[in-house]
């Protein structure tokens, strides 16, 4: 299998980290599709994904899967251990709840700050700086919320590490490029971040 990715973008990192947690890093060939070099807009990549997004998983028979969580779920079907999507009906529901909270409340706002205010995108896309400001305000609120949630448990979805922690780590780390940083006001998020960032998979 091949994973078409950008080594600096947050969604491909989610998949690389998931693969590393599964012990599958060497089982998947990584192929760089540099957004900075506009490689995602070439005919070759658009044939894999008409929207020109990354990551894309390519199976050995040529089929493509074009979305980060779908790729993680497919890998999870082939390699169920260690379990990163929960272990029973309720824990699977809680992991899904928290993976979606991490995406909708953290990753998407962080990505929208980047798209709508960062110099990287100037001249490449139309930006709305006002919306970036709104998302910065939202993120401050969401970090306060997350800090309360993490006051009495180790990981986002409970006592077990899950894909929700991968999503949240990739979101908050990607925030650094837009100067979104964890401060002393959110000690539980900092404690959680230090633990998750210290896992070997975080370097994937």
By CB under 8 A, name the binding residues for a copy of itself.
50-51, 63, 65-67, 69-71, 73-74, 77-78, 89-90, 92-94, 96-97, 100-101, 104-105, 108, 116, 126, 128, 130-131, 134, 137, 145, 148-149
- Is the CB of 38 or the CB of 79 nearer to a copy of itself? 79
- Is the CB of 21 or the CB of 103 nearer to a copy of itself? 103
To the nearest whole angstrom, how small is the minimum distance from the Cβ of residue 68 to a copy of itself? 8
Query: What whole-number distance in Å separates Cα of residue 192 and Cα of residue 23?
Result: 22
State the residue for tokens 């992991």: 95
State the residue for tokens 């970090």: 143
To the nearest whole angstrom, how small is the minimum distance from the Cβ of residue 9 to a copy of itself? 14
How far, rounded to the nearest angstrom, does the alpha carbon of residue 67 sit from its chain's CA centroid? 11
- Is the CB of 166 or the CB of 202 nearer to a copy of itself? 166
- The alpha-helical segments, DSSP class H, found in 34-186 are 43-48, 68-78, 89-101, 108-117, 129-149, 163-175
């Amino acid at each position: 299998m091949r994973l078409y990715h950008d080594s600096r973008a947050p969604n491909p990192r989610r998949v690389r980290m998931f693969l590393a947690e599964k012990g599958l890093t060497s089982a998947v060939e990584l192929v760089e599709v540099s957004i900075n070099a506009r490689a995602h807009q070439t005919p070759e990549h658009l044939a894999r994904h008409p929207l020109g997004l990354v990551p894309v998983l390519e199976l050995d028979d040529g089929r493509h899967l074009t979305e980060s969580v779908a790729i993680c779920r497919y890998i999870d079907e082939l390699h169920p251990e260690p379990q990163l999507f929960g272990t029973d009906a309720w824990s699977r529901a809680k992991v899904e709840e928290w993976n979606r909270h991490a995406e909708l409340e953290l990753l998407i706002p962080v990505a929208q700050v980047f798209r709508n205010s960062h110099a990287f995108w100037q001249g490449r896309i139309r930006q709305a700086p006002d919306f970036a400001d709104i998302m910065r305000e939202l993120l401050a609120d969401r970090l306060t919320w997350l800090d309360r949630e993490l006051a009495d448990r180790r990981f986002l979805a409970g006592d077990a590490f899950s894909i929700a922690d991968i999503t949240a780590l990739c979101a908050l780390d990607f925030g650094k490029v837009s100067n979104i940083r964890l401060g002393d006001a959110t000690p539980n998020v900092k404690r959680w971040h230090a633990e998750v960032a210290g896992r070997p998979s975080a370097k994937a």
